[in-house]
Amino acid sequence: MSVSCAFTPLLRRGAASKSCHSVLQRSPSRLRNARAFSTSLPRDGNTWGFIGLGQMDVGEMKRSKKCLFFFAFSVRTTFTCLGLLTISSPSPGYNMAKNLRAKIPAGDTLIIRDVNEESTARFVREAREAANSTGVGDNVLVAPNARELAEKSSVVITSLPEPQHVKDVFHSILRHGELPPLDKERIFIDTSTIDPASTKEVANAVHTTCQGRFVDAPVSGGVVGACEGTLSFMYGASSQTGALVKRVESILLLMGKKAWHMGAPGTGVSAKLANNYILAINNIATAEAMNLGMRCGLDPKVLADMINTSTGRCWPMEINNPVPGVVEGAPASRDYEGGFGVSLMNKDLRLVLAAAKESGTPLALAEVARVLYNVIEAEYRGKDFSVVYKWLRDQSPA
C-alpha cells in the first residue's frame, strides 16, 4: 500500500525536518552489543511502542543531530518507545519508560533506540541493575529505527517536543508502505504536546492509509508525576468502540494515575493546551505574589502555607513553588535545574496562541505572558519555568 498521497502535507522539508529525518536513518553501532535487535520477535498477543525526543532544550533539539530515542517491549507483549530517554536532565519520558519497564510482564522484552548513545547505555545499565536486585527486567534490546519498531508493535507510543518532529517520525514509519499485520489492531498513541491542526494531520495520515488507530494523549504532572507514576493523560480517540477506549486507558494507566477521554482525535491536545495556558499564567502570578509578599516582609514558607489553604492555591504555589527552600525537592531548591523547562513552557504558549487564532478565541493575557517568557527563556535557557521568580526578584529595586 502506498502512503505518499496521504502524507503530502507531511513531506514539506524544512531544516528541522531534514535534520530529524536524517537522524532516524542513523543507528549507533556501539550500543548494538547491548543486545542485537531481534527480527523474529513473537507476534502473538499485544505489541507496544513508544517514540520521542530526549528532553534537552527545545532550541537545542532543533539544532541537534542527536535527538531521537526509541524503545520497545516484546514476547507476548512488545512495547516500543522512541525518544524518551535522556541523560542530560530528568525527563518525564525517561521515567515513563522506566514505569513501563517495571510494569510489563516479566517475560516481555523492552527494545530501546536513541542516537544519544549515553542515554541508551544508561537505560540498559539501569535495567540490568534492576534485574540484579529483582530478578526481572533485563530483557532490553536496541532497535535500529522507528519503522522496525512499528513493524513489531501493536501499540506505538510517541513523545516529541515539536509538531514537525511528530510529523517526521510518522512519515518515517508510514512512507515505506503498509505495515505488516498483527493479531491486534495497531494503535499509535502520541503523548506529545503539539497543536491540534498537526495532530489531526497525522491522525488523518494514519487512518487514511489504514495503518491503525491514532490517539493523541498528552500528559500532565511533569517529572515528579512521571517518577511516581501519577501522571494524568487527556486523550482524544474515536469512541465508536468501547473496546478501543478501554484498551487505550489500560495502556496509559501503566504510566499514570488518571486518563481522561476528551472526545475525538485532536481533543486531547486541545485540552492539554487549555490546561497549560492556565499553568503559564499561574506560574507568573505565583512568582509575582511570592516576590510581593517577601518584599513586604512576609516569611515565604508561612505565606505559601496560607495561600495553599486559601483561594490562591494552585500547582505552581503548592508543588512547584518558585522560591528556593519553600518546597523541598522543587526545581527552585536545586537552582531551577530539572523540572519543566522554560523553553517547553514557551513552546506550549506559542501553541496556545496558534490554537486561539485558528479557533477565533480571544485571550487577554497570552501575548503579555509570551513576551515575558521570551525574555526569560533568552536569559535562563535550560532552567525550570519557575525561574520566572528569580528574574522578577532580580528586576526589583534593592
Active site residues: 272
Tell me how far the alpha carbon of residue 20 is from its chain's centroid. 17
The rounded distance, in Å, linking the Cα atoms of 162 and 90 is 19
Please choose, from the candidates 113, 165, 168, the residue with its C-alpha nearest in 3D space to the C-alpha of residue 144: 113
Residue located via cell numbers 530528568: 90
185 contacts 150 by C-beta, under 8 angstroms: no
Amino acid at 382: G
38 contacts 205 by C-beta, under 8 angstroms: no
The rounded distance, in Å, linking the Cα atoms of 247 and 249 is 5
Buried b / exposed e over 285-321, threshold 16 CB at 10 Å, is bbbebbbebbeeeeebeebbeebeeeebebbbbbebb
Please choose, from the candidates 127, 157, 135, 132, the residue with its C-alpha nearest in 3D space to the C-alpha of residue 47: 157
The rounded distance, in Å, linking the Cα atoms of 173 and 159 is 15
35 contacts 142 by C-beta, under 8 angstroms: yes
266 contacts 200 by C-beta, under 8 angstroms: yes
In the beta sheet, which residues pair with residue 216? 190, 236
CA atoms within 13 A on the CB side of 204: 13
101 contacts 231 by C-beta, under 8 angstroms: no
Q: What ranges make up the beta strands (E) of the chain?
A: 48-53, 68-74, 78-82, 109-114, 140-142, 155-159, 187-190, 213-216, 219-220, 231-236, 256-263
Please choose, from the candidates 154, 54, 149, the residue with its C-alpha nearest in 3D space to the C-alpha of residue 110: 149
Please choose, from the candidates 65, 82, 213, the residue with its C-alpha nearest in 3D space to the C-alpha of residue 159: 82
Q: Is 372 exposed, middle or buried (0-12, 13-18, 19+ CB in 10 A)?
A: middle
**69 φ, ψ to 5°?**
-135, 135
